[in-house]
Amino acid sequence: MFTPAFGSYIHARNWRVLGRPERARSSIFWFYTSIALLIVYVIASVLLWTKSPQLRAIDSLPLLYFILWYFSNGRTQAKYVKDTLGSNYRRRSWSRPLLTGIGAYVGFLLLAFAIGWTLFSLLGDKDVRSSAIALVNRQAVASGAPSGFGGAKWLMSSAEVKRIRPNAAQDEPNSLSEHAILLKEPVTVGYLFQDDYLQVVVVTWTAPSSELTYQRNQKELETKFGPMPQPLADPGNILKSAKQLGPVVIHHLLSEQSGVAIEQVLLTHEPES
């Protein structure tokens, strides 16, 4: 609420009371400029919501604008009152201005919501999804993490993954699976979706594994993704090693199912908190 818009509005009213209409007009100019820039900021935040470097730059603009307003216009009234009236003037209650400001702030929030909703509706889910996919996978690549599997990218829909991986078949409502080759060995690849966004890739070796095979494949994973934590046993696994790289966690598991050692790699999209 305490923005240049609120401050310049109060200053304009004060300048009129002080008999300085020319300065009141200057404050009104800053008031309308502030309102316009707030609207532009809302629109830019929506349009750049998946472009984090640009959004960080946009986020610094309100502070820069506040500094500009304060040193070019905002502090002049306090100096004028101090120089001409000192402390010899009747102070008025802040109740009415604050109530006006709160009402205006609530109105602006409603306007911002309406603008955001309208822009998202105009952009469409496809464009928003495409931007989100691009952002997440840029983060994954920058962190040295896999950006999905075999061309299927994080947050893609099942239809998009199906187009890229035509051999993947739907075996459950929220998953696709296919046979593939990983580290020169046959595997089954499962693509798991949440709200139709690709969130997990499960790679399961077709042939029974062993601790020796697990350690060999662990070294292959380290060649691709850097050192992995020392594999340890836990209640559900013979061996387990997990590592987070940016928005992706790599799980390397060796478990026993019906007396057979099963090796899996789980790639999960888990944004860092």
Residues 134 and 162 occupy one common structural domain: no
pLDDT band at residue 244 using 50, 70 and 90 as cut-offs: very high
Residue 115 and residue 16 share a domain:
yes
Express each pLDDT in 48-95 by its tens digit.
Answer: 654 544 455 666 777 888 888 888 888 888 888 887 877 776 777 777
More confident of the two residues 1 and 15: 15
The residue from 139, 172, 192 where one domain ends is 139
Angstrom distance (rounded) from CA 62 to CA 3:
9
- Same domain membership, residue 178 and residue 103: no
Number of independent structural domains in the chain: 2
Could you tell me the residue range of the domain that residue 95 belongs to?
4-139
Specify whether 117 is located in the same domain as 166.
no
| pLDDT confidence bin for 123, thresholds 50/70/90 | low
pTM of the full structure: 0.58
